[in-house]
């Protein structure tokens, strides 16, 4: 009889332990299911979005001339330096022929031969370079100096051929110089030839205002490709994607505590924001901006901040 009573008591204890274990497991499972993710939320806004292509342009002088030696001899005198402004017919060099240089002053005087040749500027401009200073030996045809016309300064833009569809003569663009200084230039012409190596076409941009800009300065040009005035815009932090960057989605709140996965199609991308082409979100829709990474198709969330 006593053994039977003990058996019944032991069975009861085992059942009670099993019930307690099951309850604890159920409570833990419920806690796992109802885990709450803290998130920040924003709402779509409507505004203007633009997409640009950034290209590089290099400054150059279109009008230049070179002063060449007509004789073989020596540079007797150089009257200018690089950077000097000169006017047409101003004396730049005096050359002495090799034959005259071989004679001493007495013989030159007796023979009435000085062998001096005067070289003058053929245009008004600025001395860009001096290739042979005073005392140099020169051959016939050697370049003595290069003159440029400052007013002929342009920027040469190398653009892919397909951009002919959006770059046209007469259109103004902003050029960003080193130091973030901006100037406005207009497309004056598109040259009818392609660069063989890079397969780009050269375009000539003329600054609207004359500036003292050196040659071979590189500037950045932003070319507008697409623009929309009423784009639906979200911060880039809202956007999630798969491993191959093909499928995109956002997490949208359907109430104050539940977020669901919404596939989206994107459009123009900005620095910090992106256009959502579809679906069409309302201004009152709430989209997760943080805490959204790694969530499933649905998630229980807790809003900790709303970005307006």
What pLDDT, in 10s, does the model give residues 131-178? 999 999 999 999 999 999 999 999 999 999 888 888 889 999 999 999
Q: Are 190 and 164 spatial neighbours (Cβ–Cβ below 8 Å)?
A: yes
Q: Are 222 and 62 spatial neighbours (Cβ–Cβ below 8 Å)?
A: no
Mean pLDDT (whole number) for 186-192: 92
**CATH: 3.40.50.720, 3.40.50.300, 3.40.50.970, 2.40.30.170. Which one for 53-61+151-227?**
2.40.30.170
C-alpha to C-alpha distance for 255 and 46, rounded to whole angstroms: 23
Fold match flag (53-61+151-227 vs 67-148): no
Whole-number pLDDT of residue 226: 87
C-alpha to C-alpha distance for 128 and 148, rounded to whole angstroms: 6
CATH class of this structure's domain 35-49+229-307: mainly beta
C-alpha to C-alpha distance for 51 and 48, rounded to whole angstroms: 10
DSSP-assigned beta bridge partners for residue 91: 120
Percent of the chain scored above 90 by pLDDT? 65
Identify the band that residue 6 occupies on the pLDDT scale cut at 50, 70 and 90: very low
Whole-number pLDDT of residue 114: 65
Q: Which range in 114-128, 181-195, 253-267 is most confidently predicted, on average pLDDT?
A: 253-267
Of 9-23, 126-140, 166-180, 210-224, minimum mean pLDDT range = 9-23
Give CA 187 to chain center in angstroms.
19
Domain ranges of the chain: 35-49+229-307, 53-61+151-227, 67-148
Long-range contacts of 276-282 (CB under 8 A, 24+ apart): 276/44, 276/232, 276/233, 276/234, 276/250, 277/232, 280/232, 281/44, 281/232, 281/234, 281/252, 282/44
Identify the band that residue 113 occupies on the pLDDT scale cut at 50, 70 and 90: low
Of 14-23, 156-165, 176-185, 203-212, minimum mean pLDDT range = 14-23
- Whether 12 has a pLDDT exceeding 60, the answer reads no
Determine the 3-state secondary structure of 123 from DSSP. coil
- Whether 13 has a pLDDT exceeding 60, the answer reads no
Q: Using one digit for the tens of pLDDT, what is the confidence trace for 76-85? A: 999 999 999 9
Across the chain, mean pLDDT equals 86
Of 9-23, 39-53, 130-144, 261-275, minimum mean pLDDT range = 9-23
Identify the band that residue 9 occupies on the pLDDT scale cut at 50, 70 and 90: very low
Identify the band that residue 25 occupies on the pLDDT scale cut at 50, 70 and 90: very low
CATH class of this structure's domain 67-148: mainly beta
- State the pTM of this model: 0.65
Mean pLDDT (whole number) for 40-45: 95
Whole-number pLDDT of residue 279: 95
Q: Which residues contact 244 (CB under 8 A, 6 or more apart)?
A: none
Determine the 3-state secondary structure of 209 from DSSP. coil
Alpha helices in the chain (DSSP H): 2-33, 98-101, 105-111
């Amino acid at each position: 009889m006593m053994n039977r009573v003990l058996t019944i008591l032991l069975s009861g204890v085992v059942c009670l332990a099993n019930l307690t274990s099951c309850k604890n497991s159920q409570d833990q499972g419920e806690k796992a299911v109802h885990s709450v993710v803290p998130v920040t939320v924003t709402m779509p806004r409507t505004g203007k979005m633009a997409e640009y292509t950034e290209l590089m342009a290099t400054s150059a002088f279109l009008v230049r001339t070179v002063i060449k030696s007509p004789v073989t001899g020596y540079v007797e005198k150089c009257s200018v330096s690089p950077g000097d402004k000169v006017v047409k017919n101003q004396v730049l060099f005096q050359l002495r022929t090799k034959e005259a240089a071989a004679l001493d002053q007495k013989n030159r005087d007796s023979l009435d031969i000085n062998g001096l040749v005067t070289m003058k500027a053929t245009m008004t401009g600025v001395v860009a370079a001096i290739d042979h200073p005073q005392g140099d030996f020169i051959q016939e045809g050697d370049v003595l100096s290069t003159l440029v016309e400052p007013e002929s300064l342009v920027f040469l833009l190398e653009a892919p051929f397909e951009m002919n569809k959006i770059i046209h003569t007469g259109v103004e663009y902003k050029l960003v110089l080193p130091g973030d200084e901006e100037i406005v230039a207009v497309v004056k012409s598109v040259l009818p030839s392609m660069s063989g190596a890079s397969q780009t076409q050269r375009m000539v941009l003329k600054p609207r205002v004359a500036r003292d800009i050196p040659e071979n300065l590189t500037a950045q040009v932003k070319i507008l490709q697409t623009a929309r005035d009423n784009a639906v815009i979200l911060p880039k932090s809202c956007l999630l994607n798969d491993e191959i960057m093909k499928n995109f989605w956002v997490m949208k709140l359907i109430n104050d505590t539940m977020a669901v996965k919404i596939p989206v199609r994107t459009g123009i991308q900005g620095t910090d924001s992106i256009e959502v082409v579809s679906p069409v979100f309302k201004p009152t829709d709430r989209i997760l901006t943080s805490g959204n990474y790694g969530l499933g198709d649905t998630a229980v969330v807790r809003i900790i901040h709303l970005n307006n």
